A and B are shown apart, each in its own frame.
Chain A
């Protein structure tokens, strides 16, 4: 059990900067997810904590001790790899025992630890098998077991579910969550899948191009994305972005784009007033656009042409043409029959609208 602190951590490969000025304090027993597109530096950051990559600049501390120059084995961490990285020619039991035997733990205690971990993961019947005789999900459980037996200060997960098929992935995600309740060790979890990050992470770090974009709780990121990238990355289907212009006329603040002109009220108007005359990007999640908004007096209504609809069974996804952009709308009643080309009246609540600087992408407000 330990807190992990990264201060100004950076990594360069020659002239290529992989990670830039990474600052994060992870509390004891906290589960932090690093998420971002491939090549964003999340794995590199994790590997620097693990000691598998040298740290170019900054400081990494685990449990109050700076570990920059410590080899991986002395950092008291355990890591789960994307491709499991099991020792293929050893039985599952020996795989679990290897780390303990390296540390000259007495065999009786090794056996006890293996039994404890195997029971927890339900891999007891597999102990005498070899990794190649196991399915992907079972192999990843063994990899988890290899971490559990050691009782490390920190768990590091490097895209542990990416090699599994979709169904198994969601099942393993649940199992990880269950496991977490019993073993609340400090964890860093790297993934490119925002769903995994949202469901598992108590706090999420969104990265892009080696830079931290935003740190926050899942709901924080979803409700108050710090910039356009985070807004588009978190949430599925992805947020709609519409290039628009802010105009102020007397008391009114208008947001306008081709085929759309909305009068903003209250708080939103107040925040946008100082950007009057500027180009902005308006963002709204597909879930937050409603068809023909039945109730609610403060809804903003506008017209758009239905371009295509996608039937998912439980709901429909609509693509509505609004001027030059396509607006995605989700959560539409599956039974509703809509012909392509229909003129739709759509509505959204002002508090669900996000505004970003057209150039920097930073959230306005």
Chain B
């Protein structure tokens, strides 16, 4: 086949709906439908509702402007309990599971007998549904029938009403979350460790670096990109945690362990004020967008430095 020069010179017109494009559109159609109907539409509905008088038992749907936003932002429960709870939960859960995950990954990265077995056992929490784990833990810490109190009393200590006090309940929730997510960190960090080049470590062995210096000056900096991705994903994910808290304490006692998502849920479906719940959700969304941007900015610089 010969192509004339004029043909070659002519800029190719990108046809918007060529056969290839039609096929690609067809492929993303189901996903686009799902996204539109189950994500975008509800978000828009919620956003719309947050500006209206929209209680579930009497949905007048009249426009009230920012009234619900002012309510949420001046609610002591939101400002002094929910917001600090959420941020502390996010920071502690991510930090501790990152640290534990890193230790586990470092251990699993060494060759030793029974490593495969240990690896499987350590990864078990990943296979447990969060709600199931939460129910288990709720029972473990039950003040009358719980195994924790039974164990304490067996050694002569007095049992505690774990879930009836704010900070102990919060600690139990945190523990559950950390237990659930540490293996996830361990798995990803282990993959990261195993993909590191071998030579710098050999050079360090010849250079006489102690294991701690190797970890501190080689492993950690080289692992930073993986850690950054893990932290970013988990931090955003932790912000919207619902299932564990709902199952273990349902935000109690006296709404003292409520996280932001529980707060929004309670406002919308317990207090039956759909509008107020939506407003809380919108505020949460705004917070998490800003937070995500900050996290990415900070972590990006961190990776940049480590390069």
A81 to B204 alpha-carbon distance, docked (Å): 12
Cβ of A78 under 8 Å from chain B: yes
Chain B neighbourhood of A74, CB < 8 A: 208
A71 to B306 alpha-carbon distance, docked (Å): 29
* Chain A binding surface SS class: loop
* Chain B binding surface SS class: helix
A84 to B199 alpha-carbon distance, docked (Å): 8
| A72:B210 contact, CB within 8 angstroms | no
Cβ of A222 under 8 Å from chain B: no
Cβ of B202 under 8 Å from chain A: yes
Contact with B along A81-97 (1 / 0, CB 8 A): 10111111110000000
Partner of A102, one of B200, B208, B305, B306: B208
Contact with B along A64-78 (1 / 0, CB 8 A): 000000011110011
Question: With A81-B203, A85-B200, A85-B202 as given contacts, are A98 and B222 in contact (CB-CB < 8 Å)?
Answer: no
**Nearest-neighbor residue (CB-CB) of A80 within chain B:** B203
Chain B neighbourhood of A98, CB < 8 A: 204, 207, 209, 217
Partner of B199, one of A78, A81, A102: A81
Question: With A86-B200, A89-B306 as given contacts, are A99 and B217 in contact (CB-CB < 8 Å)?
Answer: no
| A52:B306 contact, CB within 8 angstroms | no
Contact with B along A112-142 (1 / 0, CB 8 A): 0000000000000000001010000000000
**Nearest-neighbor residue (CB-CB) of B214 within chain A:** A102
- Nearest Cβ distance between residue B240 and chain A, in whole angstroms? 33
Cβ of A181 under 8 Å from chain B: no
The interface size of chain B toward A, counting residues with CB under 8 Å, comes to 20
A81 to B203 alpha-carbon distance, docked (Å): 8
Contact with A along B128-170 (1 / 0, CB 8 A): 0000000000000000000000000000000000000000000
| B208:A99 contact, CB within 8 angstroms | yes
Partner of A79, one of B206, B217, B305: B206
Contact with A along B215-229 (1 / 0, CB 8 A): 001100110000000
| B209:A102 contact, CB within 8 angstroms | yes
Cβ of B307 under 8 Å from chain A: yes
Chain A neighbourhood of B203, CB < 8 A: 79, 81, 85-87, 146
Number of contact residues on A: which range applies?
20 to 34
Cβ of A50 under 8 Å from chain B: yes
Question: With A81-B199, A130-B307, A132-B307 as given contacts, are A89 and B206 in contact (CB-CB < 8 Å)?
Answer: no
A78 to B205 alpha-carbon distance, docked (Å): 10
A78 to B218 alpha-carbon distance, docked (Å): 18
- Nearest Cβ distance between residue A344 and chain B, in whole angstroms? 46
**Nearest-neighbor residue (CB-CB) of B198 within chain A:** A85
| A89:B222 contact, CB within 8 angstroms | yes
Chain B neighbourhood of A85, CB < 8 A: 197, 199-200, 202-203
Chain A neighbourhood of B205, CB < 8 A: 51-52, 71-73
**Nearest-neighbor residue (CB-CB) of A82 within chain B:** B199
| A88:B202 contact, CB within 8 angstroms | no
Partner of B221, one of A78, A89, A102: A89
Contact with A along B291-307 (1 / 0, CB 8 A): 00000000000000111
A85 to B221 alpha-carbon distance, docked (Å): 15
Question: With A50-B206, A90-B217, A103-B208 as given contacts, are A83 and B222 in contact (CB-CB < 8 Å)?
Answer: no
Chain B neighbourhood of A79, CB < 8 A: 202-203, 206
- Nearest Cβ distance between residue A188 and chain B, in whole angstroms? 13
Chain B neighbourhood of A71, CB < 8 A: 205
Cβ of B213 under 8 Å from chain A: yes
Chain A neighbourhood of B209, CB < 8 A: 73, 98-99, 102
| A81:B202 contact, CB within 8 angstroms | yes
- Nearest Cβ distance between residue A143 and chain B, in whole angstroms? 8
**Nearest-neighbor residue (CB-CB) of B220 within chain A:** A89
Chain B neighbourhood of A77, CB < 8 A: 206
A72 to B221 alpha-carbon distance, docked (Å): 23
Chain B neighbourhood of A51, CB < 8 A: 205-206
Question: With A89-B306, A132-B307 as given contacts, are A72 and B199 in contact (CB-CB < 8 Å)?
Answer: no
A234 to B7 alpha-carbon distance, docked (Å): 55
A99 to B206 alpha-carbon distance, docked (Å): 8
A285 to B67 alpha-carbon distance, docked (Å): 96
Contacting A at CB under 8 A, from B250-307, are 305-307
- Nearest Cβ distance between residue B178 and chain A, in whole angstroms? 29
| A88:B208 contact, CB within 8 angstroms | no
A72 to B202 alpha-carbon distance, docked (Å): 9
- Nearest Cβ distance between residue A87 and chain B, in whole angstroms? 6
- Nearest Cβ distance between residue B306 and chain A, in whole angstroms? 5
Question: Could you pull out 9 A-B pairs where Cβ atoms are within 8 angstroms?
Answer: A51-B205, A78-B206, A81-B203, A87-B218, A88-B200, A98-B207, A146-B203, A146-B207, A150-B207
9 nearest A-B pairs in the assembled complex, by CB-CB distance: A73-B208, A85-B199, A99-B207, A89-B221, A85-B203, A102-B208, A72-B206, A72-B205, A102-B209
